[in-house]
Structure formats: structure tokens, C-alpha cells
A and B are shown apart, each in its own frame.
Chain A
Amino acid sequence: MNKKITIPFAAAIALTACLFFLNAGCATPELAAYRTLGTTTVLVNAAMNGWGDYVRAGLATPDDQIRVRGAYEKYQASMRVAKSVALAMKDSGAINDPVWMQVVNAVTKSANDVINLIAKFVPSVKPITQ
């Protein structure tokens, strides 16, 4: 059971590293933000699906669940800000690079926090920062 759960997290970490590498040469800030945010949602969704399996297997304590819930809700809050900025930008057609960078950085940080926190409960997974 443990092996099944650990695979998505390890892959999520590898994919996050690839994501930053891939976006380094993007042509426009909007496209880079779109790709980063889009892939981030896929990765966090995969990590949370793995966490769901972990919880359903009875391996998570109530305290663990409170912590992951908190991190996930923080990620959702940062994504809501990103959504409002992205849609406002599409409506106005104006791109504000510093705002974009701030929003994308906040989302990727909170997404990494979710993945790293989940990884703490699975011994074979190392945090992204290592």
C-alpha cells in the first residue's frame, strides 16, 4: 500500500523540477504563467489524490489531516488570487509583469508547501528543496 502511495509524490517532485526548467525559455510572461499554473494544478491534484488514498488507508492522524487541509486551503487561496488576476488581465489586455511574477511565485510556493507537507508523511519521498 505504501509503495502505491509514494510513487505519485516522487513523480510530482520530479515534474515540478522539470516544470521550472521548461518555463525558463518561454516567450511571454503570460504563456509562462499559464504553463506553470496549469501544470501546478495537475501536480497538486495528483498529490492530493495520493493523499486521499493515504487517508482512506487509515494512515493519517487527525492532526496530519488538519495540517494538509490548511496547506491545501492556502494553496486554493493563492490560486483564487491568480484566477482573478489572470481573468482581469485577459479582459483588459494589459500584462503587468511584476504582478504576474508575484502571483505565480505565491502559487508555486503554496503548491510546493502542499507537496512537501504530504511528502513528510511518506518516508521514501524527499522534499523538493533537498
Chain B
Amino acid sequence: MSEALIILILQAAVKYGPDAGRAIVAIFTKTNPTKDDWENVFVLMEKSYDDYVKPAPPTTTTVTTVTPTP
């Protein structure tokens, strides 16, 4: 594995999180990509613009009420 590739993977992992780093490792470790590998490459680009900018789902908070015992 070349030094530049290691830097690329580390940067991706640090900046974008482990998933991006893993994705790039998976891409660069293939020496003979299959049709399924190619299909997987195109999964991300199917995400629509609206998917990226949609409001974040509201965070749910569980409130536990403790009733003091008499």
C-alpha cells in the first residue's frame, strides 16, 4: 500500500468518519472488480438532492418521572 493511499484513507476516516475510510479501503483493495462491485459504486449517487437537505429528524427524549415514595 503506497504512502499516498494511506494518507488518503486516513484523511477520509478522520474527516468523514470511519465509514468513508472503509469505503475507500474497499475500493482500493479490489484488484478485479466484479459486476456487483460496480453496482455498489453507483448506490451513493442515487441519493437525491432532497435527501441531503431534508430537515434532521427530531431527537426524541425520554422523560422519566420519579414519584417520591411517601
Question: Is B56 engaged at the interface, CB distance under 8 Å to the other chain?
Answer: yes
Interface residue SS majority, chain B: helix
Q: Is the CB of A34 within 8 A of B38?
A: yes
Chain B nearest CB: distance from A19 CB in Å?
Answer: 7
User: In this assembly, does A99 line the interface, its C-beta being within 8 Å of a C-beta of chain B?
Assistant: no
Contact A49 B42 (CB under 8 A): no
How far apart sit A80 and B54, CA to CA, in the bound complex (Å)?
Answer: 23
Chain B residues with a Cβ closer than 8 Å to the other chain, count: 35
Does B63 belong to the interface (CB within 8 Å)? no
Q: Does A65 contact B (CB under 8 A)?
A: yes
Q: Is A101 an interface residue (CB 8 A)?
A: no
| Contact indicator B31/A31 (Cβ below 8 Å) | yes
Report A49-96 residues with CB < 8 Å from chain B CB.
49, 51-52, 55-56, 65, 68-69, 72-73, 75-76, 79-80, 82-83, 86-87, 90-91
Please determine whether B42 and A11 come into contact, CB atoms closer than 8 angstroms.
Answer: no
Choose one: A15, A41, A49, A68; the contact of B41 (CB below 8 Å): A41
B16 to A: closest C-beta gap in Å: 5
Chain A contacts to B: CB under 8 angstroms: 7-8, 11, 14-15, 18-19, 21-22, 30-31, 34-35, 37-39, 41-42, 44-46, 48-49, 51-52, 55-56, 65, 68-69, 72-73, 75-76, 79-80, 82-83, 86-87, 90-91
